Amino acid sequence: METKRYTVKQIAAAAADIKQGELIAFPTETVYGLGADATNPEAVKKVYAAKGRPSDNPLIVHVASVETVARYAATLSPKFKQLVETFWPGSLTIILPLKPNALASVVTGGLKTAAFRMPDNQVTLDLIQAAGVPLVGPSANTSGKPSPTTADHVLHDLNGKIAGVLDDGPTGIGLESTVIDLSVATPVILRPGVVTQEAIERVIGPIMADHHQVGASEIPKAPGMKYKHYAPNAQVYIIDQPAQFNEAIQWATEQNVPFGVMAVDDILTNQTTVRFKDQFSLGDSVVSASRHLFDGLRYFDLNPEVKIILVQGFTMVGVGVAYMNRLEKSAGQKHFQ
């Protein structure tokens, strides 16, 4: 199968593929998703096959209206309504208890809950409307690779395995949505994203966060948390302080293997002491760094010679929490010291 690259003017053709049970990668404000008709179990099965994703890892159901959620969820609590009013369309995925058998177990991973999100991307909202069904949408990457932030990333991983990708250019945020579980007494953040704990607490009061690295013997609340994610071929080292870059580059140079550096422009231009081979700009802030993190990891992955990547860390405030969560996973927790 040749994977088609659809322009944003070809939503009708992409929607027709979805209705046929085919897979279409779609743009969102966070990362590209791998779309299939959430009401068609055969189509959803293909998503796991294309990604090489373990089948116990449930999928997010993408909707274009709150009414669609009401069809599947057992109840829509006041907290849900407040969150939706504030953050949808946007980067907040909400886990709710389901009506019995409302969605196939291939969508929910056999759980009695499901994750819902309304992405902030008009092309994809139009696609969902045109298809007339909600879309499952894990990130459109091969399982274990960095999430895709461009249509090229999607094609790099899935060309020939899916019917098409709807190309709306690079995504703006670059990190996957915040996942919050509202099916429990005290809501808990299972995955940090640009919608921060503080922003959520301003709307619904105190919540908890539980996105520590899950140990091998632990049963994670979000099944996806147990898998190693975002790993490039090279070993990633987190550089926590800008002042450490000189020493880190010196050390990497001594390893006598090609290495890469990912940092903000100020740091890249100030490296006068040591020359390094290859660099990738993270822009000028934690916000631009979040947008470019996965692109940078993929950039170095194209060169199998690169054995070490030094990546700038940021303080764990605001979007820094989500950025560091993803970077820690790609580094296997390795910090340079």
Residue 139, marked binder:
yes
How far is it, in rounded angstroms, from Cα 37 to Cα 33?
13
Give the nearest distance from C-beta 52 to ligand TXA in angstroms.
13
290 binds, among Mg ion, ligand TXA, none (CB under 5 to 8 A by kind): none
**Which residues, 6+ apart, have CB-to-CB distance to 185 below 8 Å?**
none
* Chain centroid offset of residue 60 CA: 11
Q: Which does 177 bind (CB under 5 to 8 A by kind): Mg ion, ligand TXA, none?
A: ligand TXA
Judged by CB, which is closer to ligand TXA: 32, or 336? 32
How near is the Cβ of 229 to ligand TXA at its closest, in Å? 9
> Any binding-site annotation on 326?
no
CB of residue 10 vs ligand TXA: minimum separation in angstroms? 19
Identity at 95, one-letter amino acid code: I
177 contributes a contact to Mg ion by CB under 5 A: no
CB of 255 to ligand TXA, least distance (A): 33
The span of 1-9, 136-144, 254-262, 312-320 binding Mg ion (CB under 5 A) equals 136-144
Q: From the list ligand TXA, Mg ion, none, which binds 111 (C-beta under 5 to 8 Å, kind-based)?
A: ligand TXA
Q: Is 139 in the site for Mg ion (CB under 5 A)?
A: yes
Nearer to ligand TXA, 3 or 244 (CB): 3
Nearest to 119 by CA among 193, 12, 58: 193
Kind plus residue range of the DSSP H or E element containing 115: strand 113-117
Q: Which are the contacts of 22, defined by CB distance < 8 A and separation ≥ 6?
A: 36, 43, 46, 162, 163, 164
Question: What is the sign, positive or negative, of the torsion defined by CA atoms of 264, 310, 179, 320?
Answer: negative
CB 307 within 8 A of CB 300: no
Q: Which is nearer to ligand TXA, 115 or 261 (CB)?
A: 115
Pairing of strands 188-191, 208-209: parallel
**Closer residue to ligand TXA in complex, CB, 177/325:** 177
- Closer to ligand TXA by Cβ: residue 3 or 147: 147
**β-sheet bridge partners, residue 302:** none
Our CB check for ligand TXA shows the closer of 21 and 220 to be: 220
Which of the ranges 1-9, 137-145, 161-169, 315-323 carries the binding residues for Mg ion, by CB under 5 A?
A: 137-145
Q: How many residues bind Mg ion (CB under 5 A)?
A: 1
Tell me the closest approach of the beta carbon of residue 172 to ligand TXA, in angstroms: 12
Q: How far apart are CA 165 and CA 151, in angstroms?
A: 7
Phi then psi for residue 299, to 5 deg, are: -60, -50
**Which one, 71 or 335, has the nearer CB to ligand TXA?**
71
Binding residues (CB under 6 A) for ligand TXA: these are: 28, 30-31, 33, 57-60, 93, 95, 108, 111, 113-115, 117, 119, 137-139, 176-177, 179, 190-191, 221-225
Phi, psi of 69, rounded to the nearest 5 degrees: -60, -40
Spatial separation of the C-alpha atoms in residues 112 and 133, rounded to whole Å = 20
Burial class (CB in 10 A: 0-12, 13-18, 19+), 168: buried
Sign of CA dihedral 50, 55, 57, 58: positive
What residues make contact with Mg ion under the rule CB under 5 A? 139
**Binding site residues for ATP, as ranges?**
53, 57, 113, 139, 147, 191, 230
